[in-house]
Amino acid sequence: MKFFIDTANLEQIKEAQDLGVLDGVTTNPSLMAKEGIKGEENIKKHYQTICEIVEGDVSAEVISTDYEGMIKEGEELAALHPQITIKIPMIKDGIKAIKYFSEKGYKTNCTLVFSVGQALLAAKAGATYVSPFIGRLDDISTDGIELIAQIVEMYNYYGYGTQVLAASIRHTQHIVKCAEVGADVITAPLNAIMGLLKHPLTDSGLEKFLADYHKLNG
Ligand code: E4P
């Protein structure tokens, strides 16, 4: 399972990269705004900086909602760096744009996916990644992990090449559950990824090993 970090914060991206297990980055307009990145040129520069920090795919989202606008914007984003994946919303023109980009050999991430039917359309259009939003489904009392499991099963049944990128992850247990149901990729905030390190028995066990060593060796 690939690990992407879901942020536009450069310090957090560097910290995750430094851990040695990072496979990519996802961003969205809200995450860029949270970092105070504004203006077309600054936004593009920020994507380039992220691409220089990590080795894997970096999702950059289009703002346009019409086909022509998405094509123009997506081509400009893709021209910034070979690691850029064009992130496109799950709407009618978005599906048409994903089809266009997949035929041209560009990587795409179909975002804002909340149902198996939407994931089916994204796969048929040739999306590289499909992003079902787990946390936002959980927020409305719907089982986000169950959706991941259903999409994984459907893609396996038909042999679709689209990778299931579990998004809107809120905590460490979401990552573990995604691994259990076979998500290809998770994108998560840094604290959810770092939470995988933690177990109280690891801490107490290490403390005892070191104490025993120091008893004899000073
Ligand atoms: C995914 O690509 C999205 O950027 C992100 O996971 C959305 O997460 P949120 O629901 O926490 O905003």
Which residue's CA is minimally distant from atom 10 of ligand 1?
168
The per-residue pLDDT for 168 is 98
The alpha carbon of 111 and the centre of ligand 1 are apart by a number of angstroms equal to 9
Of the chain, the end-to-end C-alpha distance in Å amounts to 43
Q: Verify whether residue 87 is a known catalytic residue.
A: yes
The per-residue pLDDT for 153 is 98
> Cα 180 to chain center, whole Å?
17
Atom of ligand 1 nearest to the CA of 87: 2
3-state secondary structure the chain: CEEEEECCCHHHHHHHHHHCCCCEEECCHHHHHHCCCCCHHHHHHHHHHHHHHCCCEEEEECCCCCHHHHHHHHHHHHHHCCCEEEEEECCHHHHHHHHHHHHHCCCEEEEEECCHHHHHHHHHHCCCEEEEEHHHHHHCCCCHHHHHHHHHHHHHHHCCCCEEEEECCCCHHHHHHHHHHCCCEEEECHHHHHHHHCCHHHHHHHHHHHHHHHHHHC
Which of the residues in the chain have pLDDT under 50? none
The alpha carbon of 131 and the centre of ligand 1 are apart by a number of angstroms equal to 9
Which residue's CA is minimally distant from atom 11 of ligand 1?
168
The alpha carbon of 168 and the centre of ligand 1 are apart by a number of angstroms equal to 4
Among 79, 77, 29, 85, which Cα is nearest to 57's? 85
Atom of ligand 1 nearest to the CA of 31: 4
The per-residue pLDDT for 52 is 97
Among 144, 135, 140, 131, which Cα is nearest to 192's? 135
Which residue's CA is minimally distant from atom 5 of ligand 1?
168
Which residue's CA is minimally distant from atom 1 of ligand 1?
167
Active-site choice (87, 96, 104, 198): 87
The residues with which 84 forms a beta bridge, in sequence order, are 58
The per-residue pLDDT for 218 is 84
The alpha carbon of 208 and the centre of ligand 1 are apart by a number of angstroms equal to 40
Close Cβ partners of 128 (under 8 Å, ≥ 6 residues apart): 57, 85, 102, 107, 108, 109, 162, 163
Structure tokens belonging to residue 38: 């504004």
Which residue's CA is minimally distant from atom 6 of ligand 1?
168
- Residues framing ligand 1 (Cβ under 6 A): 6, 26, 28, 111, 131, 133, 135-136, 167-168, 187
The whole-model pTM stands at 0.96
